[in-house]
Amino acid sequence: MKRFLTFCALCIYFITTLPSALADTQQGKGGMVSSRSALASQVGADILKAGGNAVDAAVATAFALAVTYPSAGNLGGGGFMVIALANGTVTTQDSREMAPLGASRDMFLDAKGNVDRKLTLDSLQSSGVPGSVAGLLDALERYGTLSRQQVLAPAIKLAREGVVLNDDIAGQFAENLEGFRLYPASLAVFSKNGAAYAAGDLWQQNDLADTLQRISDTGRDGFYKGTTADLIVAEMQRGGGLITHEDLQSYQPVWREPIHGSYRGYDIWSMAPPSSGGVLLLEMLNMLEPYDLGTLGHGSAATLHLMIEAQRRAYADRAEYLGDPDFVAVPVANLIAKNYAQRRFADFDSGHATDSNAIGAGNWAEESPQTTHFSVVDAQGNAVAMTTTLNRSYGNRIVVPGAGFLLNNEMDDFSSKPDTPNSYGLIGRDANAIAPRKRMLSSMTPTIVMQNGKPVLVTGSPGGSTIINTVLQVVLNVIDHRMNVADAVASPRIHHQWLPDTVRYETGAMSDEVANQLRAMGHKGLSGSGFGIGDANSIGIASDGTLTGTSDPRSVGGVAGF
């Protein structure tokens, strides 16, 4: 619990010390991209203008984010992608990182059998085998229309010629400077000879440009073999990491059946395990569907009570059942069935909160808030929702010397020891235990909402365990509360994740009167101390084809459309 509260305090500090941001909202019918970076969004929009489709634009945007938003955009991490094509095809891609072949269940335990947090977060052993590059290139080959060289060219140019740093990114570099000092290659990339960058400085990344050029020239072999692979493995050997040439060459993204369900006549398409996002989103929507949230009112005690109780039960199920489906049996069909939700919610009491301890303990792991999500829609009606991460902000802060990109610390998302809290104070058990070539559990929830076979909302978010609840609330705001996409994203949010048994909420999410009503029902730990929840860069699609892209006002993002 102490670790969890410390983490929350750090999140509050980080979010409230960011430069104030206003949502960027644009409309158009030619195409739209919404992401954490205005530069990356413009790259995607330019690809659409050049005749590319939504997948082309998504791949180009993702590679650009590796240049312009390095705390989460990446070559050295992984992610999930939901694709809805205009011909009715919906599919999802899992490019989540994998445990290396040399990984073992107890690899992070010290001589006394305790978890060594330095190893799980700040070492080369914390890095899983990266999946981003393989995933992006495979998506482009299967569903794109432009060449690899065309979609990578903008990112290479941004890295080579440089980008002018804004207050947001320069501030991130300064905040992490002492951590970068531990690694010469990291310090070389993220400082000016050891001094902090300032807003307005030109930031060039020649090593990263060279790595991107190798990918452009030779495809996945430009990353998973040859020079780049040699640089990764050399760094692993230098610092006791586990990733080998065999790990890199054998990595493959997985195309999985999407999570699909319905809510009030809308089709909900989201990500399947090893993401827990789609399962929990559908489970919570199924619990809430019998109740008229629109009539009960946005932000009312009755509506919030229902949402909290649904969140509580769904997150308890996450702990018990979810993991990598290639290693454990995940009862997806049962969890997203409407009759299961009715049974699960049968003990709901409209006047009293449930004690989380009465539901039981379990396991889950999560990303840090430094994940990133972007949404893309083209004029033909193709749509992509993609969420990607390094785990913590800037991963383990280790740049591969000579390659210019950061490594992830996703191995911390596994359960290092049964019944022992991870770095966020969260308990883990067997379903998410470390095993070679296993993918660690995630909360990422890229989601596409459709009506009559056409996309109406493309959304997702970073935010660790808050991701799923962020997406839930954007969907509820659009469907139940009839908000436009900009208001649905900007509206203040709440979060409950079963354990710890506390309700967190953003300023404005509930009045003092409502908070007191919830306390009287028995809800615990209500805290409205300005904590920011999520960063849901989203796109709404009207029946006449008008696209409305919006960046989340909680951060400094950007939208590009035409």
Q: Which residues are catalytic?
A: 371
E strand segments, 106-169: 163-164
On whether the CB atoms of residues 436 and 250 are closer than 8 A, the answer is no
**What H or E segment, with its residue span, contains residue 384?**
strand 383-389
On whether the CB atoms of residues 112 and 167 are closer than 8 A, the answer is no
Half-sphere exposure of residue 68: CA atoms within 13 angstroms, side-chain side? 29
B/e letters for 79-94, b = 16+ CB within 10 Å, e = fewer, are bbbbbbbbeeebbbbb
On whether the CB atoms of residues 101 and 254 are closer than 8 A, the answer is no
| 22, two tokens | 């206003």
| 207, two tokens | 């090593």
User: Would you call 290 helix, strand, or coil by DSSP?
Assistant: coil
Cα separation of 95 and 465, whole Å?
19
Cα separation of 462 and 125, whole Å?
24
Other beta carbons within 10 Å of 65:
28
Cα separation of 57 and 144, whole Å?
9
Pairing between strand 266-270 and 447-451?
antiparallel
Rounded to 5°, angle at Cα 445 from 442 and 448:
155
Identity of residue 75: L
Cα separation of 522 and 311, whole Å?
16
Cα separation of 230 and 379, whole Å?
42
| 420, two tokens | 């022992």
On whether the CB atoms of residues 372 and 387 are closer than 8 A, the answer is yes
On whether the CB atoms of residues 450 and 377 are closer than 8 A, the answer is no
Residue 415 pairs in a beta bridge with 433
On whether the CB atoms of residues 119 and 59 are closer than 8 A, the answer is no
User: Would you call 368 helix, strand, or coil by DSSP?
Assistant: coil
Q: Which of 415, 365, 405, 370 is nearest to 390 (CA)?
A: 370
Residue 202 pairs in a beta bridge with 164
User: In this structure, what are the phi and psi dihedrals at residue 378, rounded to the nearest 5 degrees?
Assistant: -110, 175
Q: Which of 122, 161, 136 is nearest to 406 (CA)?
A: 122
Rounded to 5°, angle at Cα 82 from 76 and 88:
150
Cα separation of 247 and 513, whole Å?
56
